[in-house]
Amino acid sequence: MQSRVALVTGGGTGIGKAASLLLASRGCKVGVNYSRSAKEAEETCAEIRKQGGTAIPLKGNVADDQQVRALVKTCEEQFGGLDILVNNAGTTHFIDHANLDALTDMVWEDIFSVNMRGSFYACRAAMPALKKRHGCIVTVTSVAGLQGSGSSIPYAMSKAALNCMTKSLARAFAPEVRVNAVAPGPVLTRWLAPHPHMVEAAMGQTPMKRAATPDDIASAIVFLSLDNSLITGQVLVVDGGRTM
């Protein structure tokens, strides 16, 4: 049986790193994409190789369609194909939701170019390769896209759009390609480190009384990727019960 091949955008840090490591531990060859975190991506690949796996760092800005197509092409050339796309790359601006004047065109463009268009570009670029091997897509969205909460209004809107895109692509490309999303609540990554008050406020409304770790989200990504062949078009919430 041939090894599965995974491309993880934003794969060198946080959730992306945890997903890359876990996919590799399950026998996948992994393309670890990064835009600015070259050191972290190489360290992630080195850790995978140390554990006997196969991984390569792949530089590329997901907001650039041609760079995304090059990422997929490299995976096909280096590994022989593509089975799993994990859309994890993302960005945000922390802006109070009542401060509408702070939502400049630059803020909208910055968030939507990466979160929305970047994820779409990756899906479009990967789809022909995924169809060949009956692969799957898992996009990391957010409960912000279900509740209108989160770091800023544009961030929540971008994630809501990804939840919708997940369902649209799942309908369009079944049965060859499954498309799902994982929607975390607060995750303990470097993003939220400067904003502990946001985590504390969320935990007051969370039955499990703790924020997610990157490993919590990675296990959901791998479940949807490798452990079920029927689930598609779903947004799996992983937030300790906050959005019940």
Catalytic site positions? 155
In the structure encoding, which two tokens stand for residue 25, read together?
Answer: 């531990």
Distances (CA, A) of 229 to 72, 126, 134, 225, 232: 23, 19, 10, 8, 8
Structure tokens at 131: 């169809």
Q: Could you give the 3-state DSSP secondary structure of residue 80?
A: coil
Q: Which of 222, 215, 186 is nearest to 18 (CA)?
A: 215
**For residues 130 and 173, what is the distance between their CA atoms, to the nearest angstrom?**
10
Long-range contact pairs involving 228-232 (C-beta distance under 8 Å, separation at least 24): 229/178, 231/178, 231/180, 232/136, 232/170, 232/174, 232/178, 232/179, 232/180
> Could you give the CA distance from residue 193 to residue 59 in angstroms, rounded to a whole number?
25
Residue with tokens 């992306």, as numbered in its chain: 16
